[in-house]
Structure 1
Amino acid sequence: MKKILSTIAVTASLVTATPAMSLDDLNWDMQSTYPGSLTQLGTLGKVLSERLTAVSGGSINLKFQEPGAIVPALETFDAVASGAVQAGWSTPGYWTGKDTALALFAAVPFGPRASEYIAWMKFGGGNELFDEIYASYGIKSLACAVIAPEASGWFRNEINSVDDLKGLKMRFFGLGAKVMQKLGVSTQLLAGGDIFPALELGTIDATEFSMPAIDLKLGFYQVAKYYYFPGWHQQSTIFELMLNKDEWDALDDQTKAVFETVCDANITYGIAEGEAIQPAAIAELKEKGVNIQQWDPEILDALRVAWLEVVEEEKAANPNFAKVWESLTNFREQYEGWSELGYLK
């Protein structure tokens, strides 16, 4: 009996001493395309980093690197693909130079709200297509945040017609830039930190960037006083955690599950925070003399027509775009029946 009790005691002590989790120990760099101080766009990356460490009990350390700390912001894709850094914090819309289809995983003009967008990604085939495109570049990317609708632009002067847009030089993101080009706007993509100097110096005449709480922090109101809604080009925006695919594939299943679960939690956090912080930001912008405007329906109609032209051109030019667009469109057509029944208008 003494021997049996002794054996049980030893076994119990070994079980107690065994860690509850057996994760891969990771000390990785995560190059961000956004400053860590930038509301939501950067801070959600920092929240992700902190929660990965906390949930893993210190096994997963993903060091948030400010833009330019390892590589410039818009070189993050190549750095992750090559393995120069293990991870990157960004949005797929920055990488349309690699494949225009990636823009459809970031923000879609006249596209879905956050709940519908994530439904397509998780259960409508979006993630599978996302993986397929990124795998060809040696990247695994996880949808890791979604934010509320953006504004559609800051202008120095009031825009009363489509003609008022012609000839403007404007910072614009993603597929929306191609739409604006069709209406006579000259567009360029600038990283967040480069926009205000360009606007102040007159290198650009107008800009869009994000939602009121974020635009407020960047100070665009100091140069341009007309602020337009709704954000037809970005009704919701997906952000991503990019990982070098070889590094990802080498992880055990439990470690992968921690990444996926924390990203899902970050999606919920980002939506809730983004919706909560807008009213105060709008009130402050009004106090600073900003003219909050809504687009004339005729201008929105012109933008919608131009967008459908862009879709047809992109489908013809890129089989990946055509395949992703078909998937998203089919999902949205099916979803519309539920949306009409289930939601108040």
Structure 2
Amino acid sequence: MKYPLKALALAASMVAMTLPATAQETVRWGIPMAFGSNLTALGDTMPWVSEQLKKVSGGTVNLQVFEPGKLVPALGIFDAVSSGKVEAGYSFMGYELGKVPVSAIFGALPFGMETPQFSAWMYFGGGDALLKEAFKPHNVYPIFCGSISPEAAGWFRKEINSPDDLKGLKFRAAALGGKIYQKLGASVTMLPGGELFQALEKGVLDGTEFSLPTVDDQLGFSKVAKHYYLPGWHQPSTNQFLYVNMAAWNKLKPQTQAQIETTCTAGVTMAISKAEALQGEALAKFEREGVKLHQFNKTMLDAFAKASKDVLAEESAKDPMFKKVYDSMSAFQNKNRAWHNLGYLPRDHK
């Protein structure tokens, strides 16, 4: 028996109308951040992700961001998410070094991969699977959600010409960078970004590293220190993550999970692009303000590299997951080394 096409179409539409629609669930989470939302590419990425999530979900997924200290301390986001105090939080990965040693190299690997190659490893080199494996025992589902260009090596109140100049230096550094400075004789402390200007101004610190030139400019470091050193050997890429409590994540529908992860992937792209777009003018501004720009010489970089190698070997020996991830990162970087050396123009080419 043959049925007219119009009848078949009508029947199909009636069946479709009887099927239950997949409703977009409503999510309302408060998201504490480790950085102020005013900090370019570092702190404004999660607010951007939040706004995009509202749009793609039709307003039903609202991850409301909170400035540092408003919900939990800036350096306490991992603990708050792990314990379930908050559903999720946004932070640089590495502040939880004491509890999750491998977090430090997901956040920033000294002399490691620059931002584009790190994201390549995360998405196509097995990095994301290792990330999830490392944080699962801590009830945290981490999502790669921002990455910026190399940081500066730091601000100093005096010139640094040899490794001996670091001995006894009161310096702020995070994660593995701090361990490396300690190995070279510096007295290292860890302070959040909002406390660094005053610490430099009062002489509590002789120097500090923090972030990109644009971010360092926003924090006013050029007013209290006049020697700015590059390159950011300690953080060739600086990576931010959305930490989600595992129970909260598992309650979400697959559609919502996909929306969050996809907008975070877009956030990585936006952060990289914004970071790359703005640094040249920031350096020019520093010079106009009397800041002397320095590039660490080979002697200094060799000393940092040797200390980095020692620290990474020590951490690998202490923690199997650290070693597993570091070996994966190193293998990926080495596999692509010839491509990077041959495929890109030399940086001194004009």
TM-score range, shorter chain: over 0.9
What per-residue deviation string (whole Å, max 9, x for no partner) do you get for residues 279-330 of structure 1?
1111111111111111111111111011111111111111111111111111
Partner residue, 1:125: 126
Q: 8 Å contact 2:101–2:319 — kept in the other structure?
A: yes
Aligned to 1:238: 239
Q: Is the 8 A contact 2:170 2:186 kept in 1?
A: yes
Change (3 A) 1:290 1:12: farther
What residue is the counterpart of 1:253 in the other structure?
Answer: 254
Equivalent position amino acid for 2:137 in 1 = S
Structure-2 residue corresponding to 1:69: 70
Q: Compare 207-216 and 314-323 and name the one that shifted more.
A: 314-323
SS in 1 for 2:218: helix
Match of 2:278 in 1: 277
Say yes or no: does 1:319 pair with 2:320: yes
Aligned to 2:192: 191
Any idea what SS the aligned residue of 2:78 has?
helix
Q: Which moved more, 1:286-295 or 1:194-203?
A: 194-203
Q: Look up the SS of the partner of 1:285 in the other structure.
A: helix
Deviations 1:186-243 (A, max 9, x none): 1111111111111112111110001110100000111110000101001111110110
Instruction: Specify the alignment match of 2:150 in structure 1.
Output: 149
Whether the 8 Å contact between 2:146 and 2:240 is mirrored in structure 1 is yes
Counterpart of 1:27? 28
State the alpha-carbon separation in 1 of the partners of residues 102 and 77 from structure 2.
18
Q: Structure 1: how far apart are the matches of 2:148 and 2:189? A: 23
- Verify: 1:108 aligned to 2:94, yes or no: no
1:140 has 2:137 as partner: no
Counterpart of 1:179 in structure 2: which amino acid?
Answer: I
Measure the CA separation in 2 of the matches of 1:9 and 1:333.
60
Query: Gaps spanning 5+ residues in structure 2: where?
Result: 1-5
Does the residue aligned with 1:94 lie in a helix, a strand or coil? coil
Provide, for residues 50-89 of structure 1, a one-character-per-residue CA deviation record: whole Å limited to 9, x for no partner: 1111111111100101111111111111111111111101
Classify 1:67/1:332 alpha carbon distance in 2 versus 1 (closer, same or farther; 3 Å): same
SS of alignment partner, residue 102 of structure 2: helix
Once residues 171 and 294 of structure 1 are traced to their aligned partners in structure 2, the CA distance between those partners, rounded to angstroms, is 19
Taking a change above 3 Å as real, the CA distance of residues 13 and 312 of structure 1, as seen in their structure-2 partners, is: closer
Matches within 5 A, 1:74-89: 74-89=75-90
Percentage identity across paired residues of the two chains: 44
In the other structure, the counterpart of 2:40 is 39
Note if 1:305 corresponds to 2:275. no
Query: TM-score, normalization: structure 1?
Result: 0.94
1: CA distance, partners of 2:342 / 2:289: 41
Q: Is residue 2:264 matched to residue 1:263?
A: yes
How far did residue 342 of structure 1 move? 2.2
**Quick one: which amino acid aligns to residue 261 of structure 2?**
E
What is the alpha-carbon distance in structure 1 between the residues aligned to residue 113 and residue 12 of structure 2? 58
- Paired with 1:34 and 1:12, the residues of 2 have a C-alpha distance of 52
Is the 8 Å Cα contact of residues 41 and 272 (structure 2) preserved in structure 1? Answer: no
Distance 2:133 2:63 in 1: 25
Name the CA distance, whole Å, in 1 between partners of 2:132 and 2:189.
28
